[in-house]
Amino acid sequence: MAAEQATSSNPKSAAPAKAKIQKGMRPKHVPQRTCIACRSHDAKRGLVRVVRTPEGIVEVDETGKKNGRGAYLCRNRQCWEAGVGRKALDNALKMQIDTESRSRLKSYGESLPERSAADVE
């Protein structure tokens, strides 16, 4: 009899178990970055990273994982010319880029396509 009273006096054991509600899959987080030339936002993989390594070398980082201070530019020629030409890249990397590195960056930018009609919109 004492066992019956113990179970009936406990309201938690008498309540029916709640069913867990399954939620849908959460969308994957996509890191957003800003182009230093045109100030447009895009996914991290949609932009090209330029990095200043701890040794002070400025280079293009295709993987986006090199150690150092980075800045992002769109994958079109106009943004590269603007970023390298008007020294927005110098400000973003917080250093004066030497002429050899600047010429390497300009030659990389010349290999990129012109801005497409989809980029303008």
**Confidence category of residue 25, pLDDT binned at 50, 70, 90:** confident
CA 98, 94, 79, 70 torsion: positive or negative?
positive
Spatial separation of the C-alpha atoms in residues 96 and 56, rounded to whole Å: 10
Question: Which residue type does 3 have?
Answer: A
94 in a domain, yes or no? yes
Per-residue pLDDT tens for 74-115? Answer: 999 999 999 998 889 999 999 999 999 999 999 999 999 987
73 in a domain, yes or no? yes
62 in a domain, yes or no? yes
Spatial separation of the C-alpha atoms in residues 84 and 58, rounded to whole Å: 12
Q: What is the CATH number of the domain that holds 60?
A: 3.30.1230.10
55 in a domain, yes or no? yes
5 in a domain, yes or no? no
Give the tokens for residue 10: 């406990």
